[in-house]
Amino acid sequence: MSYTYTVCKKFEFPYGHRLYKHKGTCCNLHGHNALLEVYLCSDFLTDEGMVIDFSDMSKRIKNELIEPLFDHAFIYYREDEIAKEIAKLSCSKFLEVDFNPTAENLCKFIYDRIDEMFASYNNVNVLKVVFYETSTSFAEYTKK
Is 26 tagged catalytic? yes
Which of 94, 98, 122, 91 minimizes the C-alpha distance to 112? Answer: 98
* Cα–Cα dist 95/128, whole Å: 23
Decide: 51 and 110 in contact? Cβ < 8 Å.
no
Among 22, 30, 72, 85, the active-site one is 72
Is 79 tagged catalytic? no
Distance set, CA 71 to CA 8, 16, 32, 39, 137 (Å): 20, 9, 11, 20, 19
Is 107 tagged catalytic? no
Catalytic residue positions, numbered: 26, 72, 133
